[in-house]
């Protein structure tokens, strides 16, 4: 299927090569029962109830459905069960919780020992992973481009860090605060991976999601924190578009304001800070998790960062938390064009939920554009209801029932790493988060993007 060009303003990267990548992603839209964590901070309702004696974590099997959490199959202290996704999730969550507790002195993501619920085998060919405000969820990949999302251990650390951020700084998931939200998750992912491999910063590969792509895809990983923009270059994926300097900041309404793109800028700052701190301290305190990682954790949890902190504000928080390494941390941010504490250019005036609707096409066309997700890629397709496309009869029925604008008016707020859908149903246009899709809209998305046949 040939996908059309971008139709929304302010796109500073070319979407067709990313759309081609997601042409192989058969991810299903999810049901509407999932609800979001609060956009602006921790949600008391989203905190799991701590039962005395409950295991620190439990892995569930969703059985290729979208009903959560699924059947419990393994808990903390229990042996491997022989299911790769289950056992990978168990290894990853145990190591992630150990990083929080043993290095940073935090008891689970909320600091109060909250048990962690994880679900694997989510959906059919679901190529994503996310934190939904109550649990971690992982798909098995599409079998063409993406492998299991439990396979790289840093994906586990990345998703748990979204829960950590929600319960600390509560960074809003849009624009620069949203890019920082993604950045913090990549920082925790890198610290986790390097700790498990016992690597110092100068020996690490600094890749996020290494092993996530299947053989034949020209990709070293999903993101490269040391060299943003170099993780992949593939005929289907195109070239990694992440910027590594504020000069190249991407202003877009895709993906909540480019949160998976512009996170490359603070990612590179962290890498440079980690190298500098390691050079100053060749001992155990110079690892990423005890050096720069400790600084970033203290900045996140110390009260200096809040829901709408931008790059400059977070840079200032890290410098303040860096102690004897303050100059090195400030220099790392300066190297990517961020001056700690100064106003930072590049944030659009409105976030995607404020300006997210698109200009409608001619009547009789149903168009869907999907952005976001853990991979931060995009895909787009449309169906003319006057054509002889075999999907038209069902789409006509769906188009007659759905009210996109009404769903948008009451939709829950953003969730990290979930997909975002720009929908145009015969001129009724809105931008909806994955968790807001009704069953009819989920089916409409599936049909237009032809997910079952990719």
Low pLDDT (below 50) residues in the chain: 1-22, 24-50, 343-363
For the chain, residues classed under CATH 1.10.390.10 are 171-352
pLDDT at 152 (0 to 100): 96
Residue numbers annotated as active site: 159, 260
Residue ranges of the chain that CATH labels 3.10.170.10: 26-167
Which H or E element spans position 224? strand 223-224
Q: Which CATH class is domain 26-167?
A: alpha beta
Helix (H, G, I), strand (E, B) or coil at 180: helix
User: What pLDDT does 330 receive?
Assistant: 97
User: Three-class SS of residue 233?
Assistant: strand
Nearest to 73 by CA among 95, 49, 82, 163: 82
Q: What span, in angstroms and rounded, lies between the C-alpha atoms of 412 and 432?
A: 9
What confidence score (pLDDT) does residue 332 get? 98
Q: Which of 293, 266, 297, 301 is nearest to 169 (CA)?
A: 301
Query: In the CATH hierarchy, which fold is given to the domain comprising 171-352?
Result: Neutral Protease; domain 2 (1.10.390)
Read off the pLDDT of residues 386-431 as tens digits, 9 standing for 90 and up.
Answer: 888 889 888 888 888 888 888 888 887 778 889 999 999 988 888 9
Count of other CB atoms within 10 angstroms of residue 316: 21
pLDDT score, position 403 = 87
- From residue 110, give the alpha-carbon distance in Å to each of 36, 46, 234, 355: 17, 11, 39, 32
Q: For the CA atoms of 144, 148, 152, 157, what is the dihedral angle to 10 degrees?
A: 130
Q: What was the pLDDT predicted at 52?
A: 60
φ, ψ at 253 (rounded to 5°): -100, -5
CA distance linking residue 200 with residue 101, whole number of Å:
20
């Amino acid at each position: 299927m040939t996908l059309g060009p971008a139709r929304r303003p302010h796109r500073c990267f070319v979407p067709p090569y990313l759309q081609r990548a997601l042409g192989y992603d058969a991810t299903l839209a999810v049901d509407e029962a999932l609800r979001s964590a609060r956009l602006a901070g921790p949600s008391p309702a989203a905190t799991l109830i701590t039962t005395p004696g409950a295991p620190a974590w439990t892995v569930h099997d969703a059985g290729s459905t979208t009903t959560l959490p699924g059947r419990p199959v393994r808990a903390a202290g229990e042996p491997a069960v022989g299911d790769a996704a289950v056992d990978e999730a168990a290894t990853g969550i145990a190591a992630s919780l150990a990083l929080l507790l043993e290095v940073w002195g935090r008891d689970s993501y909320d600091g109060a020992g909250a048990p962690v619920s994880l679900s694997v085998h989510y959906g059919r060919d679901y190529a994503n992973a996310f934190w939904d405000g109550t649990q971690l969820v992982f798909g098995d990949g599409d079998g063409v481009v993406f492998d299991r999302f439990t396979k790289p251990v840093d994906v586990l650390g990345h998703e748990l860090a979204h829960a950590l951020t929600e319960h600390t700084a509560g960074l809003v998931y849009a624009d620069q605060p949203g890019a920082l939200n993604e950045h913090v998750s990549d920082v925790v992912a890198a610290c986790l991976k390097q700790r498990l491999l016992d690597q110092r910063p100068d020996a690490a590969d600094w890749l996020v999601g290494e092993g996530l792509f299947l053989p034949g895809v020209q990709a070293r990983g999903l993101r490269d924190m040391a060299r943003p923009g170099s993780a992949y270059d593939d005929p289907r994926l195109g070239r990694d578009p992440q910027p590594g300097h504020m000069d190249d900041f991407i202003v877009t309404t895709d993906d909540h304001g480019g949160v998976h793109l512009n996170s490359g800028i603070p990612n590179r700052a962290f890498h440079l800070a980690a190298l500098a701190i390691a050079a100053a301290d060749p001992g155990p305190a110079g690892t990423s998790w005890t050096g720069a990682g400790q600084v970033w954790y203290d900045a996140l949890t110390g009260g200096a960062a809040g829901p709408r902190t931008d790059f400059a504000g977070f840079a200032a928080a890290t410098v303040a938390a860096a102690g004897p390494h303050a100059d090195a941390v400030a220099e790392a941010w300066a190297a990517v064009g961020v001056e700690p504490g100064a106003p930072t250019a590049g944030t659009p005036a409105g976030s995607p939920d404020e300006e997210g609707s698109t200009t409608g096409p001619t009547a009789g066309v149903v168009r869907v554009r999907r952005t976001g997700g853990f991979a931060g890629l995009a895909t787009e397709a449309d169906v003319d209801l006057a054509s002889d496309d075999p999907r038209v009869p069902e789409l006509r029925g769906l188009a007659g029932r759905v009210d996109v604008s009404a769903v948008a008016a009451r939709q829950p707020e953003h969730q990290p790493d979930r997909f975002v859908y720009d929908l145009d149903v015969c001129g009724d246009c809105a931008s909806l988060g994955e968790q807001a899709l009704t069953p009819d809209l989920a089916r409409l998305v599936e049909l237009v993007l032809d997910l079952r046949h990719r």
